[in-house]
């Protein structure tokens, strides 16, 4: 019996010795918790994704299926550290800084639990159940990832990690949600004390390192929180505040950008290294490289004269430059991609893009979170506002929309005309449309309200030298653009001049109006956007029919009948074309759409069954055309097929390699006009 007892005692002692031997005193573990800036809101870049090696480890707090990570199992620490689909965090470069600063025999491990927008109460064990119940809907999935108890998840993993190494510090970035809360510092103290108690930590050996908030030059969204974080050591004496001074931020002025997270993370690491008795060393951070502009790059046609940039090279890459000596972050946004502009050290920023598609593109710049138009660019009304523009040149195939020597050129007039049917000054388009003809005739009464509206009118070159009358094309732009868009972005006048000069198109007048669609459609506010029952842009219909057309016929030498009147439009202007022409076949005989926004059209019943009698329709509409881009998000082929099944004659084409953009629409106009006003 004594022998068995001795054997059992020896086994227990060996087991205890073995368990103690598993704890590596040179494995330093740090707990990281907080809200979105600890969670990580910036997209990691190439240098962030390069693994720092086996000396910097992560114990995941959730599973990462795509990365093959399991909760509670150590792995190399590369972003994302928090949860799948989160971003770069201060902890990333905190760990790298310690790896650079501490001896090679010391490993660094982090456990990372953070939830965007969480109140400090979400980490207080006694408050968590009630907090979870009232948490906003957008937070519920994040809470659920930690089984609705982020504190318990952090402690559970910390206890497991203590079997491998020693907890040396706690990193926190939290406070934005509690801005102005006088109890915040006390609650942070409670969380810290609870962690020290649950994990049997000695406060004098385990500091709390609290990062400060985004300052954005004093314009940070939560700038009022800075003071309460700075004063945290007055309440929690073992806390140390990590400065965020001059850490760069994203455009929301709430989250750091990638460079800001790197800087803040390095500062966390430097503070910990000093506390541990080591001289801090910064890890290598790739600095922006100088952008070399090739000799073949030329200044784009959209640059305001006297400016060297923007430029475009033979690979269709665009180069942008702007003087902004006080800026911290500058971005250029073109073709649905944002490019960080790099400082040149002399007060200017530059960027080079990927190869861009040929044609015209809007672009914007952003300095420290504020969008603006590049002062070196001509401006164009698009995207519901004035915008910069850049033309990526085609080859000779684009000559049809370029001005040519040796031919006569028409004019684009800017006109103002009175509208007595503008719903903005009268009682609505619906009532105006229903007025009896006698009432319409009396609309010019001195008591009748009117407003001045703007339009552009193209007249062919020969218009100035004779008395001939001309057919008229009413040409509409798309949502968020204006009456100048076809002339400036679309180069309509050059297309017309060249086609007329070659004898491809008959001389005609072209009228362009805003169409009441400069502002975006209010999808959230309701309103029909179905064909024939549209509310968006429908206020233009009585203006067009009762004011603009009569004004044009009175003031220009037109052939004022349906046989000599056409309408066409791009995108929502195509929608308007369907609404107007198909309900006014007594006024129009030609129609076309370019990427027309025609959705859910029942060709058998639409517009009071206008397509049901194909023979009658084909007699009234002498030419019907539709085009769209091969990469367009609006495709017209299904509608074309449905119309053709009904016996409707409709010509159609797809613009190769283009999307919902002006190159598609230039090509469409070029193909459309040779068929107009010919029988």
Strands 565-570 and 370-372: unpaired
> Which of 525, 544, 373, 521 lies closest to 455 in space, CA to CA?
544
For residue 255, indicate whether it is catalytic. yes
Rg (CA), the chain: 34
Query: Of 255, 477, 622, 670, which one is the catalytic site residue?
Result: 255
Between the two ends of the chain, the Cα-to-Cα distance in Å is: 118
> Which of 235, 227, 259 lies closest to 246 in space, CA to CA?
259
Q: Are the beta carbons of 646 and 612 closer than 8 angstroms?
A: yes
Query: Of 126, 193, 230, 252, which one is the catalytic site residue?
Result: 252
How does 86-105 read in b/e, with b if 16+ C-beta sit within 10 Å? bbbbbbbbbbbbbbbbbeee
For residue 284, indicate whether it is catalytic. no
* Helices assigned H by DSSP within 207-330: 225-230, 232-235, 258-275
Query: Of 36, 244, 534, 595, which one is the catalytic site residue?
Result: 36
Beta-carbon contacts of residue 154 (< 8 Å; ≥ 6 apart): 31, 33, 61, 111, 113, 123, 195
For residue 36, indicate whether it is catalytic. yes
Distance CA 562, CA 344 (A): 61
What DSSP string runs through 625-652? EEEEETT-SS--HHHHHHHHHTT---EE
Q: Are the beta carbons of 207 and 249 closer than 8 angstroms?
A: no
Q: How far is CA 494 from CA 107, 404, 472, in A?
A: 69, 8, 17
> Which of 576, 513, 589, 594 lies closest to 549 in space, CA to CA?
513
* Helices assigned H by DSSP within 2-127: 2-22, 36-39, 46-49, 90-101
Catalytic residues: 36, 252, 255
């Amino acid at each position: 019996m004594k022998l068995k007892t001795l054997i059992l005692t020896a086994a227990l002692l060996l087991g205890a010795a073995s368990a103690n031997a598993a704890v590596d005193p040179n494995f330093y573990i740090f707990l990281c918790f907080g809200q979105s800036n600890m969670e990580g809101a910036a997209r990691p870049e190439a240098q962030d994704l390069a693994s720092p090696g086996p000396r910097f480890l992560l114990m995941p707090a959730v599973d990462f299926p795509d990365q093959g990570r399991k909760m509670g199992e150590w792995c190399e620490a590369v972003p994302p550290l928090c949860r799948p689909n989160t971003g770069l965090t201060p902890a990333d470069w905190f760990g790298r800084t310690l790896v650079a600063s501490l001896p090679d025999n010391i490993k660094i491990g982090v456990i990372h639990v953070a939830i965007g927008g969480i109140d400090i109460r979400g980490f207080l064990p006694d408050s968590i159940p009630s907090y979870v119940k009232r948490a906003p809907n957008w937070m519920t999935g994040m809470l659920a990832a930690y089984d609705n108890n982020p504190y318990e998840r952090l402690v559970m993993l910390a206890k497991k990690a203590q079997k491998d190494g020693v907890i040396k510090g706690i990193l926190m970035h939290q406070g934005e949600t509690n801005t102005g809360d006088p109890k915040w510092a006390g609650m942070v103290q409670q969380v810290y004390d609870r962690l020290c108690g649950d994990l049997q930590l000695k406060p004098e050996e385990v500091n709390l390192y609290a990062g400060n908030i985004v300052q954005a030059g004093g314009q940070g969204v939560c700038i009022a929180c800075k003071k309460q974080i700075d004063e945290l050591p007055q309440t929690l004496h073992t806390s140390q505040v990590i400065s965020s001074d001059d850490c760069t931020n994203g455009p929301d002025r709430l989250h750091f950008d990638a460079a800001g997270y790197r800087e803040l993370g390095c500062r966390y690491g430097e503070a910990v290294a000093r506390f541990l008795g080591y001289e801090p060393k910064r890890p290598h951070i790739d600095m922006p490289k100088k952008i070399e502009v090739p000799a073949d790059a030329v200044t784009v046609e959209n640059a305001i004269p006297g400016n060297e940039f923007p430029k475009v090279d033979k690979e269709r890459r665009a180069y942008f430059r702007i003087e902004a000596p006080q800026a911290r972050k500058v971005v250029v946004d073109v073709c649905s991609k944002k490019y960080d502009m790099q400082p040149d050290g002399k007060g200017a920023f530059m960027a080079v893009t990927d190869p861009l598609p040929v044609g015209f593109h809007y672009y914007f710049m952003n300095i420290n979170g504020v969008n603006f138009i590049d002062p070196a660019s001509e401006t164009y009304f698009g995207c519901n506002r004035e915008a910069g523009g850049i033309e990526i040149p085609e080859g000779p195939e684009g000559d049809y929309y370029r001005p040519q020597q040796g031919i006569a050129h028409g004019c684009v007039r800017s006109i103002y005309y009175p509208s007595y049917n503008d719903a903005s000054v009268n009682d609505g388009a619906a009532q105006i449309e229903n007025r009896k003809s006698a009432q319409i005739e009396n609309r010019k009464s001195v008591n009748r309200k009117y407003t001045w509206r703007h339009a552009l009118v193209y007249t062919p070159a020969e218009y100035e030298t004779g008395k001939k009358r001309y057919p008229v094309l009413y040409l509409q732009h798309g949502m968020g653009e204006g009456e100048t868009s076809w002339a400036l972005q679309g180069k309509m006048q050059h297309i017309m001049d060249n086609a007329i000069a070659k004898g491809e198109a008959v001389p005609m007048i072209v009228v362009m109006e805003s169409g009441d669609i400069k502002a975006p459609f209010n999808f959230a506010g309701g309103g029909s956007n179905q064909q024939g029952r549209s509310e968006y842009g429908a206020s233009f219909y009585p203006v067009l029919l009762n004011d603009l057309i009569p004004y044009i016929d009175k003031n220009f030498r037109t052939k004022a009948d349906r046989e000599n009147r056409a309408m066409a439009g791009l995108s929502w202007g195509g929608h308007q074309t369907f609404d107007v022409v198909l309900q006014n076949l007594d006024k129009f005989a030609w129609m076309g759409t370019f990427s027309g926004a025609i959705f859910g059209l029942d060709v058998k019943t639409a517009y009071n069954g206008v397509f049901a009698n194909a023979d009658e329709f084909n007699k009234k509409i002498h030419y019907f055309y539709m085009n769209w881009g091969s990469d367009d998000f609006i495709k017209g082929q299904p509608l074309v097929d449905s119309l053709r099944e009904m016996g409707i004659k409709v010509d159609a084409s797809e613009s190769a390699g283009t999307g919902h953009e002006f190159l598609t629409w230039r090509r469409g106009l070029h193909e459309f006009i040779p068929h107009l006003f010919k029988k």
